[in-house]
């Protein structure tokens, strides 16, 4: 664990209680057993989480009974994790990063994905990228809702690609809404859900 005051068993119970019977218990076990090690790995790779003196600053959120949430520069945790991961990927031999490519479809052969069709956003050309395996990590689909705090890219593209390729979809009803977001017709149109979330956080 990241804190001497915490136990794997407690984290497991808190997570199952918050999931209210919907959790995949095997996945929760992986999360609580491997999570702290993975967080330390991120730190080794250069992620700078907030500290109190020499110790990691841990906060308590939602259904957690102990302080175990890391954060970076207050509310920029995701940005800091992505910064560290991109730097690590750039420094890893054999990893080639192609940016400004928008994937549009998997290329299938004999029921297996053998590549990807993508648009090169810098020139509009459609590219065929061959690959022995394709892993999609394209995030969620929060943008199908009029009001959302999800990023503009969360349009469900990856899910649609997988579905068109014949993949079985599951748990589609799980869409994240940030618990401190708010939306009201009385708010000015210029007030985006993200800004409202910031205000709600300050209440
Ligand atoms: C407002 C808000 C606050 C949050 N706060 C926290 C927090 O404090 N702590 C926490 O643990 N989690 C938090 N989360 C949740 C966390 O951000 C997500 O669970 C996490 O980012 C999901 O990671 P992902 O890699 O699955 O998807 P994403 O991070 O969404 O990454 C998907 C990537 O795929 C790219 N992509 C999508 N479609 C295509 C395409 N067709 N072609 C090419 N690229 C594509 C996107 O541009 C994006 O870079 C928060 C989420 C929100 C919305």
Residue 12 lies in a domain: yes
* pTM of the shown model: 0.85
Contact assessment for residue 68 and residue 1, using Cβ atoms and an 8 Å cutoff: yes
**Domain match, 52 and 118 both:** no
Q: Does residue 61 sit in the same domain as residue 114?
A: no
Mean pLDDT of 89-97: 96
Atom of ligand 1 nearest to the CA of 138: 34
- Answer yes or no: do 106 and 86 share one domain: no
Task: Report the number of distinct structural domains present in the chain.
Answer: 2
Which phi and psi (to 5°) does residue 64 adopt? -70, 135
Would residue 202 count as lying in a domain?
no
Residues 58 and 79 in one domain: yes
Q: Are 20 and 55 part of one and the same domain?
A: yes
* Domain annotation covers residue 186: no
| Ligand 1: centre distance to CA 154 (Å) | 7
Euclidean distance between CA atoms 198 and 87, whole angstroms: 29
Report d(CA 47, CA 122) in Å as an integer.
30
Q: Domain range holding 66?
A: 8-90
Out of 32-46, 53-67, 102-116, 185-199, pick the least confident: 185-199
């Amino acid at each position: 664990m990241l804190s001497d005051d915490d136990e794997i068993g407690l984290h497991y119970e808190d997570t199952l209680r918050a999931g209210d019977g919907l959790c995949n218990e095997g996945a929760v076990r992986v999360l609580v057993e491997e999570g702290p090690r993975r967080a330390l790995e991120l730190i080794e790779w250069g992620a700078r989480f907030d500290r109190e003196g020499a110790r990691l600053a841990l906060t308590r959120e939602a259904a957690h009974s102990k302080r175990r949430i890391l954060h970076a520069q207050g509310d920029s945790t995701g940005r800091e994790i992505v910064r560290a991961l991109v730097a690590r990927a750039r420094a890893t031999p054999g990893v080639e990063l192609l940016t400004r490519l928008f994937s549009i479809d998997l290329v299938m052969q004999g029921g297996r994905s053998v590549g990807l069709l993508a648009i090169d956003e810098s020139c509009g050309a459609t590219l065929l990228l061959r690959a022995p395996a394709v892993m999609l990590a394209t995030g969620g689909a929060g943008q199908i809702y009029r009001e959302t705090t999800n990023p503009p890219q969360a349009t469900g593209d990856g899910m649609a690609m997988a579905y068109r390729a014949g993949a079985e979809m599951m748990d589609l009803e799980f869409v994240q809404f940030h618990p401190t977001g708010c939306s009201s017709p009385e708010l000015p149109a210029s007030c985006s859900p993200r800004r409202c979330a910031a205000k709600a956080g300050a209440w």
